[in-house]
Structure 1
Amino acid sequence: MTYYPDLTRYSYDVSDHTMLNVGWLARGRPFRTGIVNERVVEALAILSAAYDNHMRGVHFCEFCTSARPVVLGGPALDTEVWLGSAEIRVRGTDGTAYAAPNLVIHYIAQHRYCPPEQFCRAATETAGVETLDELILPD
Structure 2
Amino acid sequence: MTHYTDLSPYSYDESSRDMLNVGWLGPEHEYTTGVVDQRVVQALVTLSTAYENQMRGFHHCAFCDADRLWVSDSPGGGTRTWLGSAEIRVEGEDGILYASPNLIIHYITEHQYFPPEDFCRAAVRTAGIETTGPLTLVD
Matched residue, 2:36: 36
Matched residue, 2:52: 52
Q: What runs of 5+ residues in structure 1 fail to find an aligned partner?
A: none
Distance 2:78 2:39 in 1: 16
Matched residue, 1:6: 6
Q: Shift of the alpha carbon at 1:133?
A: 3.6
What root-mean-square deviation, in Å, do the aligned CA atoms of Structure 1 and Structure 2 show? 1.3
User: Residue type matched to 1:83 in 2?
Assistant: L
Q: Is the 8 A contact 1:47 1:73 kept in 2?
A: no
Q: Shift of the alpha carbon at 1:73?
A: 2.9
Superimposed CA distance per residue, residues 16-68 of structure 1 (whole angstroms, 9 cap, x where no aligned partner): 00000000000110000000000000000000000000000111000003232
Distance 1:73 1:97 in 2: 23
Q: What runs of 5+ residues in structure 2 fail to find an aligned partner?
A: none
Distance 1:130 1:118 in 2: 15
Matched residue, 1:25: 25
Number of equivalent positions: 137
User: Residue type matched to 2:12 in 1?
Assistant: Y
Q: Shift of the alpha carbon at 1:130?
A: 1.0
Q: Could you tell me the TM-score, scaled by structure 1's length?
A: 0.95
Distance 2:14 2:32 in 1: 27
Q: Could you tell me the TM-score, scaled by structure 2's length?
A: 0.95
Q: Shift of the alpha carbon at 1:10?
A: 0.1
